[in-house]
Copies of this chain bind each other. A is one copy, B any other.
Amino acid sequence: MPAREITKLTLYGDCASGNCMKTRFIADALGVDYDWVEINVVGKETQTDEFLAINPAGQVPLARWPNGRILPQSNAIMLYLAETTPGGERFIPSDPFARGQMMSWLFWEQYSHETAIAVRRYHKHLLGKSDDDIDPGLLPKGRRALGVMELQLTYTDYMVGESLTLADVALVAYTRWAHEGGFDLSEFPAVRRWVSRVETDLDIEHAQAA
């Protein structure tokens, strides 16, 4: 990562990371002007002295502004961009309880979904490990997370009611790549339909396995 002058919002991230791609999905949807600095996680570029000086937590994505401010955490970056960019209010329910439900899914995504589906994909797809060398608990944990989503999406078209919110953006990031982690979305038909719906809404390439 070369030292660089920051002249506009700069997003540091890895294109192979769903967490990082979330911040691009929202920035692109909002028409925010930003620079992207690719940081290779597998190559340990988040653990260099130079990157740790910017973010001591050693994690991407990271948002950085010309005034020196930085903000880590994918879901916090999405929330901040949506709250402070004209048009961003369409991604956040105005009803307090619906907003609470969105927040609840955002925390659940990081605690119960990413930690199984993204982690298994990381080991299988990015590190190339065989199934025998991957924590056997990740497959049932991830299938349970997909089952929780399937139940919700049987009732509503989106994770919170009938329109796209940040909860959908957060959850689609790794769900659309779940097959790379060895998860079969054909077991979860409502989830599969929702992935296509959200990809269309965000105008991103359909990445889901056939």
Chain A residues proximal to chain B, CB less than 8 Å? 56-57, 59, 69, 71-77, 79-80, 83-84, 96-97, 99-101, 103-104, 106-108, 110-112, 114-115, 147-148, 151
Contact assessment for B73 and A108 in the assembled complex, using a CB-CB cutoff below 8 Å: yes
How many copies of this chain are found per oligomer? 2
Question: How far in angstroms is the closest Cβ of chain B from A116?
Answer: 12
Q: A80-B97, A111-B111 are in contact. Are A103 and B56 (CB under 8 A)?
A: no
A12 to B56, CA, bound (A): 36
Of B59, B83, B100, B107, which contacts A110 at CB under 8 A?
B107
Cβ contacts under 8 Å, A151 to chain B? 56
Contact assessment for A80 and B57 in the assembled complex, using a CB-CB cutoff below 8 Å: no
Closest to A100 in B: B80
A75 to B117, CA, bound (A): 22
Cβ contacts under 8 Å, A59 to chain B? 112
Question: How far in angstroms is the closest Cβ of chain B from A171?
Answer: 13
Contact assessment for A71 and B101 in the assembled complex, using a CB-CB cutoff below 8 Å: yes
Q: A110-B111, A115-B115 are in contact. Are A103 and B57 (CB under 8 A)?
A: no
Closest to A150 in B: B56
Q: A84-B96, A96-B84 are in contact. Are A75 and B107 (CB under 8 A)?
A: yes
Contact assessment for B96 and A83 in the assembled complex, using a CB-CB cutoff below 8 Å: yes
Closest to A78 in B: B103
Cβ contacts under 8 Å, A148 to chain B? 56-57
Contact assessment for A104 and B56 in the assembled complex, using a CB-CB cutoff below 8 Å: no
Question: How far in angstroms is the closest Cβ of chain B from A152?
Answer: 9
Cβ contacts under 8 Å, A100 to chain B? 71, 76-77, 79-80, 83
Contact assessment for B112 and A76 in the assembled complex, using a CB-CB cutoff below 8 Å: no
Question: How far in angstroms is the closest Cβ of chain B from A195?
Answer: 20
Of B71, B80, B103, which contacts A76 at CB under 8 A?
B103
Contact assessment for A107 and B107 in the assembled complex, using a CB-CB cutoff below 8 Å: yes
Q: A57-B148, A96-B84, A97-B69 are in contact. Are A76 and B107 (CB under 8 A)?
A: yes
Question: How far in angstroms is the closest Cβ of chain B from A207?
Answer: 24
